[in-house]
Structures are given as C-alpha cells and as structure tokens.
Amino acid sequence: MSWFKRTAKGIQTSTEEKKDIPKGLWFKSPSGNIVEQDELASNFYVSPDDGYHVRIGSKEYFQILFDNNEFQELDANMSSKDPLEFVDTKPYTQRLEEATQKTNLKDAVRTAVGSSKGKSIVIGCMDFAFIGGSMGSVVGEKICRAIDYAIKHRLPFLMISKSGGARMMEAALSLMQMAKTSIKLAQLDEAKLPYISLCTDPTTGGITASFAMLGDINIAEPGALIGFAGPRVVKDTTGQDLPEDFQTAEFLLEHGFLDFIVNRKELKDKVNLYIDLVMNRAVRA
C-alpha cells in the first residue's frame, strides 16, 4: 500500500501508516526555532539559536542555583486554607486540590537553603503553574519565614518572582502579604544582609508592587514581562499610546528600574559575585 494518497488538500500520510511523535520531544520558540528537549534542558532551558528563555519553575531554578541540586526545603508542607469560603466558577478548595494534583506543589512558592558555589544562601522561588503564581497567605508567610531564617543564620536571600499578582480568592488577606513581606525585607536590610530580586516572565501585579522591586539589586531575565497592570489597563488609564516594548525587562533596564539583565546560563555566577562583593567575601571562580 502506498504511504501517501492525493486528496483535495494535497498529499497526506495515510492515517493507518502515521507514527505518533512523543509529546515533549521538541520545543518550538516564539521565533520558530526548534530544539530537542534534552538539548534545551542542558542549555538551562534557553533556546540556543535565539536566546529565548523558556518559563521554568522552582524545580529547575533550584537545579541551576544549588550545588549538586542539594538543598533543605523550608516549610515544605504548608498549604492554603479557605477562610473566606470563596466560590466563583468553582470552590476555592477545589481549585487548590486541582492545582496540587496537576503540579505536585503545595502552593505557588517554594523556599530552601543550600550551598551555591560553596556558600550558603536562602532562595525563594515562585511557580507560575500553581494558580498563575498568585500570592495568597501561604506565599507571603513562606517568604517571611525564609527571610527570618536568613536573618537568624546570617545568610543572603534571593527571591525569584514569576506571578500574575495577588490571589483574588483570598481578597484582603492576599493584599496584606504585600506589606507583610515588605516589612520583613526591611528587617533583612537592618540586619545588613543582601537581598537580590530576580524578575522572570511574567512578574506582575502585587508582586511587582512589593518584594519584586525591593531588592538591594533588582535583576531580570531577557525578555521578561514586568509590570503592575496589563498594557491595556495602563493605556486606558493614561490615555496614551504605549511604546512597543513597554513592560519588557529591556525597557525597564533602560529607564532605571533594573540594575541589569542576566542570561540564565550566567545566573549562578552573577548572583554569587554580587553577594561576595556586598559581604566582602573572597570571590571564587
């Protein structure tokens, strides 16, 4: 039997003869470059041809930053409750259960302590896969506890943001986390310990309006979307046309909101170099 048959739509492979390609074998970047998943992972999830930074979560960032991927997770079993008994299209408790089953995460942030280039550091990292990386009470509490740990043990703190903003299902309880985390960062500053904020794609809403922009040094990955409200809301509010690259990391760097943009492949070295300089430690190659 011929492998192909001519139809009105052109030559097509017979359905019976088709072989399925396993999902996830290839990744196609927005510019159209195609790369094997294994090659992408070995390149820090950065498309080698165009430098596109694929969205990754805490699992991948911890692999990149902690030596040998060894770390102690803090408050690993903390999970959200439903004090407001919120119901929209479905109960909040159901959303939480579905997000946990889908992502195998307890909430939208993980915090951990471990060694990076041989020196201890506390890292918090948000996971966009868990209800859009939204910030509820647990996210705020885990970040605050991580900062407390850093202060107690005299360690630097790195926060990796990736969020759609506050979690509406917790209403004012979610908005309170903006002030709560900001106060803790002030205490970290009083203890004269460095705080590095890394903004990744996307960093928006109440996260941008609080801890994401309070770093001693604020950095971002190339092409990351960073802002408070969406472009349409900003345009409607100001009544002005926005620049084409508005709310990109490059735009914010040009206008003084970021200190520098770092390629993910250089992230570990850059973070440790800054910490060494601030804490007056010998720089290790």
Q: Which residues of the chain have pLDDT under 70?
A: 1-24, 282-285
- CA atoms of 9 and 214, how far apart (whole Å): 57
**44 lies in some domain:** yes
149 and 245, same domain (yes or no): yes
**180 lies in some domain:** yes
**11 lies in some domain:** no
202 and 266, same domain (yes or no): yes
**148 lies in some domain:** yes
DSSP code, position 49: T
42 and 60, same domain (yes or no): no
265 and 215, same domain (yes or no): yes
**284 lies in some domain:** no
Identify the pLDDT of residue 233: 85
What ranges make up the beta strands (E) of the chain?
Answer: 4-7, 10-13, 26-28, 34-36, 71-74, 109-116, 119-126, 157-163, 195-203, 217-220, 260-261
138 and 196, same domain (yes or no): yes
**2 lies in some domain:** no
Domain that holds residue 50: 23-54
- CA atoms of 199 and 176, how far apart (whole Å): 21
pLDDT tens by residue, 124-177: 999 999 999 999 999 999 999 999 999 999 999 999 999 999 999 999 999 999
Kindly report the backbone phi and psi dihedral angles of residue 28, in degrees, each rounded to the nearest multiple of 5, phi listed first: -115, 120
Identify the pLDDT of residue 24: 62
Identify the pLDDT of residue 215: 97
Following DSSP, what letter does each residue of 204-253 receive, concatenated? -GGGTTTGGG--SEEEE-TT-BB-SS-HHHHHHHH-SPPPTTTTBHHHHH
Identify the pLDDT of residue 225: 94
Strand partners, 91: 87
Identify the pLDDT of residue 253: 97
Neighbours of 278 (CB within 10 A): 16
The count of domains in the chain is: 2
